[in-house]
Each structure stands twice: as C-alpha cells, then as structure tokens.
Amino acid sequence: MSASHSVHQGNEAPYYYVPADSRHPVRMAVALLFMGVGAATWVNSVGWGKWAVLVGLIGLIFVMFQWFGDAIRESEGGLNSKKIDLSYRWAMSWFIFSEVMFFAGFFGALWYTRTVTTPWLGDLDHRLMLWPDFQAVWPNFGPAGVVEHFQTVGPFWLPTINTALLLSSGVTLTIAHHALREDHRTKTLVWLAATVILGFIFVACQALEYHHAYTELNLRFDSGAYGSLFYMLTGFHGFHVIMGATMLTVIFFRLLRGHFTANHHFGFEGAAWYWHFVDVVWLGLYLFVYWM
C-alpha cells in the first residue's frame, strides 16, 4: 500500500511487476485457522481455545510484518508502476467493501432479532405452546430463568466520549492528509500522531466500558441475544480500531523515513480510507446499539 520512492524521482517502472512465489499466503491461512478454531472453542468454554487464539494472533502479526515489509521494499526499490498503484487502490477498495459486508451481517442480525424474532416469539401461539413467560420486549431475558438479569449499556458517558474521540480523530487525520499533500511533513507527523493517540484512547475507554458492563451491569457474552450482539459488534469494531491505529503507526514511522511525497502516498491514503470506514461503523453502533 505504498507509492514507489523511485516514482518520486521520476524513474517509474514501465511494466506490471509480478512478485515471485510467496509463502506468506499459506502462513497467513494457518494463522487465521488457529484464530478461528481457537475462537470457536473459546466461546464454548474449551480451555485451550484462548491459547490457540493467542498463537494465531502472534502468527498473524509475524506474517503481516514480513509481508508488508516485502511490499514496502518492492515499492521503494522502484518495482511498482502506476498500474500497480491502481491495483493497490482497487484491492483496498474491495477489502473495505468486504468489511462493510462483515458488519452488515451483524447489524442485520441485530435488526432481525429485535424487530422480527422477538415480536414473533411473543405472539399468542408461541406463548401458549412454547414459552408462557416470554416477554416480547428488547432486550429480553428469554423464557423465565434462562438468562440472568442484566442491565443494558446506555450512551452516557463512555460511548459518547468515544464518539467524540473517533470523530475528532477523523478530523486530525484529514488535516494530516492535507498537510502531506501540501508537503508540510512536520505538520503531517504532528496531526497523524494525534490521530493515533486518539485511537488508542478510544480502545482504553472501551476496555473500561467492558469492565463496567461485566462487573457492575452483569452484561456478559451469554446474556441472551443482546449480550452476544453487543460484544460481537463492539468487540469486532474495537479490534478494527486497534488494526487501524497500528496501520497509522506504521505510516507514521514510514513518514519519518521519507517514504511519501505530496503526490505519491497511497500507503497513507489506504490507511486513511480504513480509518474513516471505522469511524462510520462506530456511528452506526452508537445509534443502533446504545440509543435504540
């Protein structure tokens, strides 16, 4: 996700560079397999599940470090052309689209559970035949005695503070982008650093919110459909914030090494696209999870 340093000097590669065979995809698949199997067993209270997730996560970080390092060296070595740059843009666009569909699935599950399934299970036939004590309200506790009593998480104050943090980070990142386009490198670094700091403060606030929800509200992953959807939506979003902040941190250090110029900086742009996508997803979460 970067523009070539040689392109900066007008020495653009005249061809479409095809890298040699790579072991990175296979390693990435193995790491993701460990994470997937580990997560599935972990949520089902299997002891070794969390360790499988940890092994997969460490492997994922290791492979990404090597893979993106190779891509950066190819770019800085003058192997990329404008066609490669266009390929990177399309790849990032499709990646973000896949992430949109990922979150759309969870938002769809939230909508379906709340507006379709809950009223349907509360109609007269189901109450007479299946669950006489079921109350068709959202969030619900299932049939009497099935789900422990819990309290929901409202929008005040941590979710609202987090909304302000992410919106502010979108502004600081935009300022950094404009500064880079104007070739003000110091200004770019300052505002990009502010974006990264705001992102990690968001993660810290969300961890504090989880602690409050788990210990004081008794809201757990097994607290019915509400608990599962709450932690899946906010948890995956928090993971994406960590990934986005990590990407921007890498871009920060690349800026320090002079890898980008005012006209060639798709590495910065690609990370910025991802960060703005994360911002938009949070606005949906803030509205449909905390307010509605």
CATH of domain 16-80: 1.10.287.70
pLDDT range class, residue 6, cuts 50, 70, 90? very low
Query: What are the structure tokens assigned to 240, written together?
Result: 């994406």
Alpha-carbon gap, residue 273 to 286, rounded angstroms: 20
Q: Contact at 8 Å (CB) between 126 and 134?
A: yes
Every domain of the chain with CATH number 1.10.287.70 lies at 16-80
Q: Enumerate residues 6+ apart whose C-beta is below 8 A from 134.
A: 121, 122, 126, 127, 140, 142, 143, 144
Sorted by sequence, the CB contacts under 8 Å of residue 116 that are 6+ apart come out as: none
pTM metric for this prediction: 0.84
Q: Which residue type occupies 163?
A: T
159-209 pLDDT per residue, tens: 999 999 999 999 999 999 999 999 899 999 999 999 999 999 999 999 999
- In the structure, what pLDDT confidence band is assigned to residue 272 with cuts at 50, 70 and 90? very high
What residue spans in the chain does CATH classification 1.20.120.80 cover?
81-291
Tokens of 36: 């997937």
Question: 225, 113 in Cβ contact below 8 A?
Answer: yes
Which residue, 236, 202, 278, 213, is CA-closest to 105?
Answer: 236
Give the torsion through C-alpha atoms of 58, 59, 64, 67, to 10 deg.
Answer: 150
In terms of CATH, what superfamily is 81-291?
Cytochrome c oxidase, subunit III, four-helix bundle (1.20.120.80)
Residue 128: pLDDT band with limits 50, 70, 90: low
Percentage of residues in the chain having pLDDT higher than 70:
91
Average pLDDT, the chain: 87
The span from the CA of 49 to the CA of 39, in Å, is 6
Which two tokens mark 33? 């397999």
**Where do we find the tokens 């990329």?**
80
With a cut of 80, say whether residue 80 has pLDDT above it. Answer: no
Q: Report the alpha-carbon distance of residue 234 to residue 211 in Å, rounded.
A: 13
Decide if 241 contacts 199 (C-beta within 8 A): yes
| Contact status, residue 34 vs residue 59, Cβ threshold 8 Å | yes
Of 21, 23, 13, the C-alpha closest to 77 is 13
